[in-house]
A and B are shown apart, each in its own frame.
Chain A
Amino acid sequence: MRSRQAAIAIRLILIVAGLGVAAFLYAFPLYWLIATSLKSKAELYQSITLFPRHPTLQPYYSVLFERGFWVLLKNSVLVCAATVLVTLAVGLVITYPITRLTVPPRLRVGVLNWALSLRFLPPVAVVVPYFAIVRTLQIYNQPIALIGIYSLFNLPFAIWMLKGFLAEIPLELEEAALVDGANRWTSFRRVLLPLAAPGLMAAATIVFTFAWSEFLFALILTATPNSQTFPVGVQGLVTQFEIIWNDMAAAGVIAMSVPLLLMVIGRRYMVAGLTFGVIREK
């Protein structure tokens, strides 16, 4: 009797300790970010405290309006939304034949493998040629340059995710529609798309998240708030020629909140997306 109570007690202590340490290590940096974002400029010249002395939202106002970052926020939203649309459209066009039509298996493997290989590509290795292309096409400092490149880099994810979801929809449903006289396009639109909607939403949230975080291409291919995205603005505040840690923290909080919000919605598909469908919900 006593040993079982002890065992339960030990287990409880272990759980609390283990979770407690992990929770602290993950929660404290985020707390510190938020706390710093609520400090006034004068407070930055005094000694450090764990809690803001006079919490204020001034840094957020400063970041969004005085520095005009709300434009960057708007750009980020537009670019990411457009990227999602393009990526899903092209992804569907590529995935549909592979999963719904009879194609030689080696073709299927080839395309999927090629899609996966893009995951290995270091962006910095291709930023130089892409800069040359952007220059030639005269789309430097235009959002369309970023949309095109982000779509390209997110296509692998989209293809693998969509493949996983489309493959699960039974072929018979579409065949039934075809037998009833519908053509491919109608059966695609009326039968397949509604069933694939959860998968599309999943891919959409993940593509949006990854496009949101992209930094290097945005840094190089943009010049003015006409096309700069929010991460570029965040990086611009990490300067040590000014003591603006509170603004820097506020920008960091804003940058984080969008993907965090999305992920609470799209959490079921995150791991599937990151592992190219190997780990999935069942």
Chain B
Amino acid sequence: MKKRLTRRDFVIQAAITGASFSSLPAILAACGTGNATPSSSKPSKLTIAAVQGNEDGPLKKVVGNYKSQTGIEVQVVEFPYADLFTKLVTTFQANDSSYDLCMMDDPWMPKFGTMGALQPLDSNFGFTRDSDIPTVVYDVGTWPPPHGPVPPSEQGKTQHLYGITIVGNVEMFMYRSDKSAAPASWDEVLSNAAKYNAASFYGYVIRGKATNPVSSDSLPILWSFGGNIFDDNWKVKLDSSDSITAVDFLTRKLKKYAEPGPENTDAADRSRLMAIGQAYQSTVWPGEITGIVEDPSVSQVKGKVAYIPIPQGPSGKGLGMMGNWLLGIPKGSKNGQAAADFIKWMLKTDNMRNYVAQGGIPIRNSILNDASLASANPYFKALAASFAAVPNWRPRTDQWGAVETSYGTAMNAAVAGQLTPQAAMQKAASEIRTVMKNAGYPS
């Protein structure tokens, strides 16, 4: 990178000159334009870092209403999924004030909670639990987590609410109801897939793209078969026989009836296949439903698809998976009160109804159970049932980024057929064990 110059005194002179330039940082800092204006009482603009895709579409549509009601402009800055996580962590590390609000996928809560990167909503801004909102929604935004294993470094910390859901994502299941009744178990899913598989009509669509996509798609299956990534003491059990059976079910049995190239299929592709009538069934997130499968401008199967909670596995459990997107307030934000007001505005029932009309996913039971909205939103019933059954959530560890990358890469290799289920899970298990050990978890 730098080549040592051959003349010694040049080097010395350069060093002296360089030292005299220690004022450079001050000059540069003075040149930088300020970040957010310090808030007096009301800022003119709030900035939200959001995930690009179906999830922030409705958000972008309703912020116009906020501006007309309060005069505050809300700027939505979008990033693709993985980049949003990277961007949030780097911004938190810089303690920067660029973002007043951030959209977070719930598995990111542990890292942000451990970093202390968010402002507590309950003690700072007076948020309390609303009975119309499912308890699990508050639980998923609380750190340390109210149930399930707690990372060793976080035990003993006071619990605070750090984020509230604005996209009530719980992973569900969709199938062509014009062809058959609802599958009651994963075995029925498999037999239906075999039965209806045809040329250009895939029996099951696997969302197998590496890391987050395939991880989200496969965990409910893993759980339904009794497998898991960790047990209650943070010991890795990906290489247990239950886990490997589940992986084998997905990557060998179901794959026979899946679309070509599942290792590259992401959510939008999967929904697109459903929307153009080339797929029979798959797991699905509510955002894909409103954005693609039930969107009349692009869907050819509107009215032909039904939505149910995740089917049961051999263990007798059908464990749905939380995938809520929460809104939180970064510590660096200079407009905390205004940001909190925005969140409260989003949660008001009337505003949430408007949000639903724009394709948003609500979290209020009163809205989900409202019969008048059922026909326009066919998935509400399944979503309400999923919330009531208390869906599972992803392991609450601040190492989730690394865990998901290892697990997701191995699963992707298994879906692609490059590794056997056993080899893939063993590889992931050993990588994750190393990561957890380095991070101080019990092993």
Contacts and interface: CB of A to CB of B under 8 A. Distances in A.
Contact of A121 (B1, B87, B91): B1
B99 A223 contact: yes
Given A237-B52, A241-B81, A242-B291, 14 more contacts: A42-B297, A42-B298, A113-B3, A131-B90, A140-B94, A145-B32, A148-B28, A220-B90, A223-B49, A224-B99, A235-B83, A239-B53, A239-B268, A241-B266
Nearest to B78: A236
B96 A242 contact: no
Given A225-B77, A240-B267, A139 B32 contact: yes
Contacts of A148: 28
Contacts of A113: 3
27 contacts: A41-B298, A46-B276, A106-B7, A107-B5, A114-B3, A114-B5, A120-B1, A126-B1, A137-B28, A137-B29, A137-B32, A138-B32, A139-B29, A140-B91, A140-B94, A140-B98, A144-B28, A144-B32, A219-B83, A223-B77, A223-B99, A225-B75, A239-B52, A240-B266, A241-B54, A241-B268, A242-B54
Contacts of B297: 41-42
Contacts of A97: none
Contact of B53 (A145, A225, A241): A241
A226 B32 CA distance: 12
Contact of A242 (B25, B91, B93, B268): B268
Contact of B6 (A110, A126, A140, A224): A110
B91 to A, nearest CB: 5
Nearest to A225: B77
Nearest to A122: B1
B7 A110 contact: yes
**8 tightest CB-CB pairs across the interface, nearest first?**
A241-B53, A240-B266, A223-B98, A110-B5, A239-B80, A139-B32, A45-B298, A140-B94
Interface in B28-81: 28-29, 31-33, 35, 47, 49, 52-54, 75, 77-81
B77 to A, nearest CB: 5
Interface string B1-26: 11101110010000000000000010
B96 to A, nearest CB: 5
A243 interface: yes
B302 interface: no
Contact of B268 (A46, A110, A225, A243): A243
A46 B87 CA distance: 35
Nearest to A117: B3
B35 A144 contact: no
B96 A223 contact: yes
B235 interface: no
A46 B278 CA distance: 12
B298 A241 contact: no
B188 interface: no
Given A142-B32, A223-B87, A238 B47 contact: no
A104 B7 CA distance: 10
Size category of the binding interface on chain B: 35 or more
Contacts of A104: 7
Nearest to B295: A45
Contacts of B91: 140, 223
Interface string A212-229: 000000011001111000
A93 to B, nearest CB: 13
Would you call the interface of chain A mostly helix, strand, loop, or mixed?
Answer: helix
B269 interface: yes
B209 interface: yes
B1 A117 contact: yes
A238 B28 contact: no
B5 A236 contact: no
B209 to A, nearest CB: 7
Nearest to A241: B53
A171 B108 CA distance: 64
A179 to B, nearest CB: 31
Most buried by A among B90, B276, B292: B90
Interface in B265-290: 266-269, 272, 275-276
Interface in B219-272: 266-269, 272
Contacts of B81: 239, 241
Contact of B272 (A42, A45, A239): A45
B1 A140 contact: no
Nearest to A111: B5
A137 B268 contact: no
A102 interface: no
A178 interface: no
A103 B292 CA distance: 69
Nearest to B266: A240
Interface in B281-334: 291-292, 297-298
A144 B32 CA distance: 6
